[in-house]
Amino acid sequence: MKILYFGGQKSGKSNLAEQKALNISLKKSYYLATYDNSFNDKEMHKRIDKHKLQRKDEFTTIEEPKDLLKVLSKSNNEDTFLIDCMSMWLFNNIDETEEYLIKQLEEISKLDANIVFVLNDVNSGVIPYEKESRKFVDMTGIVGQKLASICAEVYEVKLGLANKLK
Amino acid sequence: MKILYFGGQKSGKSNLAEQKALNISLKKSYYLATYDNSFNDKEMHKRIDKHKLQRKDEFTTIEEPKDLLKVLSKSNNEDTFLIDCMSMWLFNNIDETEEYLIKQLEEISKLDANIVFVLNDVNSGVIPYEKESRKFVDMTGIVGQKLASICAEVYEVKLGLANKLK
Amino acid sequence: MKILYFGGQKSGKSNLAEQKALNISLKKSYYLATYDNSFNDKEMHKRIDKHKLQRKDEFTTIEEPKDLLKVLSKSNNEDTFLIDCMSMWLFNNIDETEEYLIKQLEEISKLDANIVFVLNDVNSGVIPYEKESRKFVDMTGIVGQKLASICAEVYEVKLGLANKLK
């Protein structure tokens, strides 16, 4: 089963996605962290550390910033993955073509594993002037629509409250 | 009947609005394109061309960046218009007064034609610092509330999924 | 009873929150205005004046930009407050710690008065690059999740239309 949690910054989407992954898994779930540790971003490190602490020992953490299939292709139908988050995966793959990214999602949709995706809503503000930001916003919409289409359940999260869109 | 599709950048709102227009029309629908071709914006041209290709021969396209009534006032109750999008119309009329814009929408609401409006959600991000952007965000909210009030159905679109608000 | 109205810029949230406060109050309600008049922001003053005019004599206005408890702690279960808005309160308290702000909300949640909160949705756009804006967006999410948890009813407002999230 594929499930998507979608919401704005600090909406509580990761927390709800974590609970969902724990609820649907029969054995210890995998936390697929997409943050690229090769950047030296102190604020992000602080966030990640706080997050890691909250997750405690409930997940087995795997770090893979770019190639999700490298990790997921070894999975079977008893595995549950929480991918937090697809926005960071998109950011790390922003120089790839739209076709490549859509193809990756189609390959992932064919896998038997349970996957809970997390995606940032960045699409409801003023369209940014910078070309890179604009591309990121557009690709978030394109990737998000594809993700929603391959997921059985889609939840929008606002203020810690989930609204089922599908 | 007046219907509004409202959503963020690349939310799939135009696609759903197009389907709706085709569904409710008894004869060939009109696509009222509000993009001002007098700007020389290559990226926008590319977007428009891709869009035009997708619409194929299902609509008769009319281009009118500013004065919607000039086109719509000749319509009758057998006509269906898809206006894509009201945000571009607002942008092209940003120097008009709020009263003028609201009056235009009231005139449009009195017409017998079926009209499917598309509007960009730009109101849920950080309030921009630049005066022009701030005005555009404010006017989008004001125009959007007016549009919602004159429409029988209002849909918010996220990730290609429509949520009926009214 | 505590109630939250949450929405983007010019979504109509204040208007709906005002109607709600008037509906649930048995006697004249208080309008707790959080705007800091010590700033000299002409555009904001114009907005406030327009707003004040709209509210006419339906509310007793109290101005308190920072310390809500100073006003609210004197209340009883027959009082109804409309706090417009919590985003401005957050902005005026942005140098306080997260712990302090959460504690304030917990203290407020224990009061017997009816309180209708208004909060701006700024979390669904591109994450701003400036550290201060980023902090404001993050804290809006954190404060918003806390507010939602202490409220019996939570409404998201779009285009003047309320969607009950809780």
Cα→Cα distances A2→A21, A127, A148, B68, C11, Å: 10, 30, 9, 44, 33
Question: Residue C12 and residue B125: Cβ atoms within 8 Å?
Answer: no
pTM of the full structure: 0.92
pLDDT tens-digit map of C114-156:
999 999 999 999 888 889 999 999 999 999 999 999 999 999 9
Interface test with A, best of B159, B161, B164 (most A CBs within 10 A): B159
Given a cut of 90, whether residue A57 has pLDDT beyond it is: no
Interface test with A, best of C126, C134, C163 (most A CBs within 10 A): C126
Asked whether the beta carbons of residue B154 and residue C137 sit closer than 8 angstroms, the reply is no
Contact B159 A6 (CB under 8 A): yes
Least confident of A80-94, A122-136, C42-56, C91-105: C42-56
Q: How far is CA A49 from the centre of its chain?
A: 18
Of A10, A128, A163, the CB nearest to C123: A10
Report the 10 Å Cβ neighbour count for C107. Answer: 13
- In this complex, do A11 and C138 lie within 8 Å of one another by their Cβ atoms? no
Nearest one of A126, A103, A121 to A165, comparing CA atoms? A121
pLDDT given for residue B105 in this prediction: 98
Neighbours of A84 (CB within 10 A): 26
CA-nearest residue to A142 within chain B is B10
> Hey, which chains touch C, using 3+ CB pairs under 8 Å?
A, B
Per DSSP, A120 falls in state E
Catalytic residue among C8, C12, C22, C51: C51
Task: Give yes or no for a contact between B154 and C159, defined as CB atoms under 8 angstroms apart.
Answer: yes
Band of the pLDDT at C56, cuts 50, 70, 90?
A: low
Let me know the angle formed at the C-alpha of A69 by A63 and A70, rounded to the nearest 5 degrees: 60
Sheet containing B2-7: order of strands = B59-63, B29-33, B80-84, B114-120, B2-7, B153-158, B161-164
CB contact at 8 A, A84 and A14: yes
- Cα–Cα distance measured from residue C3 to residue B45, given in angstroms and rounded to the nearest whole number: 46
Strand B161-164 versus strand B153-158 pairing type? antiparallel
pLDDT tens digits along A101-137: 999 999 999 999 999 999 999 999 988 888 999 999 9
Residue A12 at interface with chain C, using a CB cutoff of 8 Å:
yes
Q: Which amino acid is at B18?
A: E
Label the pairing between strands B153-158 and B2-7. parallel
**Interchain CB distance below 8 Å, A128 and C126:** yes
Domains, chain C, ranges and CATH? 2-164 (3.40.50.300)
Residues belonging to chain C: 166
Lowest mean pLDDT: which of A150-159, B147-156, C45-54?
C45-54
pLDDT of B18 higher than 70: yes
Any idea which residues of B carry the catalytic annotation? 51
Chain mean pLDDT for chain A: 92
Q: How many angstroms separate the CA atoms of B17 and B19, rounded? A: 5
Strands A161-164 and B80-84: unpaired
**Which pLDDT score is estimated for C127?**
85
Cα distance between residue C145 and residue C101, in whole Å: 12
Please list the residues that pair with C106 across neighbouring strands.
none
Residues A62-84: pLDDT tens digits?
999 999 999 999 999 999 999 99
Kindly list the residues from chain C whose CB atom is less than 8 angstroms away from the CB atom of residue B126.
Answer: 122, 125, 128, 133, 136-137
Question: Tens digit of pLDDT for each residue in B30-46?
Answer: 999 998 766 666 666 66
| Cα B40-B46-B49 angle, rounded to 5 deg | 110
Task: Number of A to C CB contacts under 8 A, please give it.
Answer: 68
Average pLDDT, chain B: 92
Give chain B positions within 8 Å (CB) of C158: 6, 121, 156, 165
CB pairs under 8 A between A and B: 68
Alpha carbon separation from B102 to A109, B105, B108, B139, B141 (Å, rounded): 46, 5, 10, 10, 12
Q: Which of B124, C142, B160, C156 is nearest to A10 (CA)?
A: C142
> Are the CB atoms for A108 and A68 separated by under 8 Å?
yes
Give chain B positions within 8 Å (CB) of C160: 145, 148-149
C65 touches chain B (CB under 8 A): no
B149–C contact, CB cutoff 8 A: yes
| Residues in B 110-129 with any Cβ partner in C closer than 8 A | 121, 123-127
